[in-house]
Amino acid sequence: MVHSPEQDAIDLRLVERCQRGHADAFRELVDRYQARIFNMAYRMLHNREEAEDITQEAFLNVFRAIDSFKGDRFSPWIYKIASNLCLDHLRRRRLPTVSLDAPVNADMDVAREIADNTSLPEEEALSEALGIDIQRAIDSLPERYRVVTVLRHIEDLSYEEIAEVLGIPLGTVKTRLFRAREMLRERLSDSL
């Protein structure tokens, strides 16, 4: 979401109060951003518990580093922290896999347990509301294209904010969004 100068000023006052040790100011920052950070994390990870964990970790990182914040806008800073946590989490997910047929332990023939990845009713409703085909197409994008797509079209950040959040040049943001849209157009051509 693109913040107005007034919202940015409120954020900065809250940050300054946090830096002076006012816990209520931090709680207010959490209230202002928690839903947005969770939403972005959920869109990136597609797992409620992981998104909740990332949201909590993002705010812990903000709390620990609030004294070092020197920027003029809080919003891009917290989105950068959260998006980096999501990308790190996605990279860790790609660790080596194990065959389901392989025994858990070389000495024992113990059955493997498989997690139940079925969606909750509210997740089903959300998925339907967004359009299953569109969401699948976004999910299939490579990470660098998915993150700019989520930040731009779901979180409604400006190109400049995305560049600031990801620490990449504005031209790179535009190029990645263009390529992501082309990939989505191609993947959705049969659905639309």
Between 156 and 68, the higher pLDDT residue: 68
> 145 and 56, same structural domain?
no
Between 105 and 139, the higher pLDDT residue: 139
> 137 and 188, same structural domain?
yes
> 71 and 4, same structural domain?
yes
**Domain range for residue 79?**
1-95
107 domain residue, yes or no = no
Q: Would you state the pLDDT for residue 97?
A: 58
Burial 16-45 (b: 16+ CB within 10 A, else e): ebbeeeeeebbebbeebbeebbbbbbbbbb
Angle among Cα 162, 167, 168 to the nearest 5 degrees reads 80
Give the pLDDT mean for 27-32.
95
Last-in-domain residue among 95, 128, 148: 95
pLDDT tens digits for range 107-159: 655 555 666 666 666 666 655 644 677 778 888 899 999 999 989 888 888 89
Q: Would you state the pLDDT for residue 72?
A: 85
Last-in-domain residue among 61, 95, 129: 95
> 82 and 152, same structural domain?
no
> 137 and 79, same structural domain?
no
> 148 and 87, same structural domain?
no
| Under 8 Å between Cβ of 162 and 51 | no
> 3 and 81, same structural domain?
yes
Domain count, the chain: 2
> 125 and 192, same structural domain?
yes
Using 50, 70 and 90 to split pLDDT, how confident is the model at 168?
Answer: very high
> 125 and 88, same structural domain?
no
The 3-state secondary structure of 19-51, one letter per residue: HCCCHHHHHHHHHHHHHHHHHHHHHHHCCHHHH
